[in-house]
Homo-oligomer: A and B are copies of this chain.
């Protein structure tokens, strides 16, 4: 039997990139997922394990982040064209395909105006309600599920204890992103359930405006604001995963990265859960 290589391509998928444009207020964010695929004269890689012409997919990833440093990313087609041209110029490459998905974010409102640093992924999350009914007691807990929020500044994390397993640097200015799930208990079955809109507004505005020293710190402020927004509720419970955005180290490529180019990560994530109660 003889075999031969047919159609083939390879590359890197799901390169997650968030860029913050901070040069002036208000900040702007761009959220991209990039895939790179190359075709060309790659037969020796397959048939002989000869990697001489094999651009590492790790290098593709680095290239995407490095190119993102100097690009405003206001047109994904132009960014894809630049990347494709770069990859096509590599030895052995006959065709380069760069595919980008751009996730839209909306600016959060605060005090009736768009907030300069805080954003919400489009899709407002779902409203929830759970009624538990026993002969002697009825409980109404309402809430919001999966509201994805991000702020580009006014978030620090410092002063935490350092033991022999601690490597995290202190930071005075980081991205804070979460997918908020909230629930609140109504004082009675005759409460004004229309309060949910005001509670939602209070949660989002506080997320935007808070000078955060930790997710826990912001959670508590959000809880307080929700309680202040409506007398109808007696407590609020918030679950805030910390969706880490890691600053990319661009120094190996001779570039700085002044808090602009980030990797959005899914795993692992911090998870903060607490109830704030009216007293």
Binding site for B on A (CB under 8 A): 1-16, 35, 37, 42, 45-59, 61-63, 66, 75-78, 80-81, 83-85, 87-88, 90-91, 94-104, 121-124, 126-135, 138, 140, 142, 145, 157-161, 163-168, 186, 189, 193-194, 212-217, 219-220, 223-224, 227-228, 235, 237, 241-242, 252-254, 265-279
Contacts and interface: CB of A to CB of B under 8 A. Distances in A.
A168 B55 CA distance: 11
A129 B168 contact: no
A142 B194 CA distance: 41
Contacts of A84: 131-133, 138
A277 B4 contact: yes
Name the 9 nearest CB pairs between A and B, nearest first.
A123-B123, A49-B213, A8-B274, A6-B275, A84-B133, A46-B220, A80-B131, A49-B217, A57-B270
A71 B57 CA distance: 33
10 contacts: A2-B279, A8-B216, A10-B274, A49-B212, A51-B160, A56-B160, A59-B163, A76-B129, A164-B254, A167-B252
